[in-house]
Amino acid sequence: MLAGMLDGKKTIDPSCPSRELLSHITSRWGVLTLIALKNKTLRFSELRQKLNGVSERMLIKVLKDFEKDGLVLRESYPVVPPHTEYSLTTSGLEAAGLITLLTDWIGNYQMKENAKPNKS
């Protein structure tokens, strides 16, 4: 485990499987995807609009990775035109919660920082 290895005397194993999941979650669009899906099930294009700036290719990759990781549930309806919905699994919801904790903290922290008098 990541923290454990650092807290202990051992160095980090680069091949540690946690690294991959961690990189997925903390990736640029990974973070935002989790937050976006936190409360809502969304279709591909809805999600893409919310994450203003994602390329189609990257969003697909993130969603596929998360699906493999077990954080995202993909439901595809065989209709024309296609209709696919993405939602978080229970685990995904947990991860999203933790990420939200972090982003909320960042928001508060920067508010406090900017409130300080000695600021450029």
Contact with DNA (CB under 7 A): which of 6, 12, 28, 97? 28
Binding site for a copy of itself (CB under 8 A): 1-4, 6-7, 11-14, 17-18, 21-23, 25-28, 31-32, 35-36, 38-39, 49-53, 70, 91, 94-95, 98-107, 109-110, 113
Residue by residue, DSSP assigns 45-108 as HHHHHHSTT--HHHHHHHHHHHHHHTSEEEEEE--SS-EEEEEE-HHHHHHHHHHHHHHHHHHH
Q: How many CB atoms lie within 10 A of CB 90?
A: 9
CB of residue 4 vs DNA: minimum separation in angstroms? 22
Site stretch for DNA (CB under 7 A), options 2-10, 75-83, 90-98, 99-107? 75-83
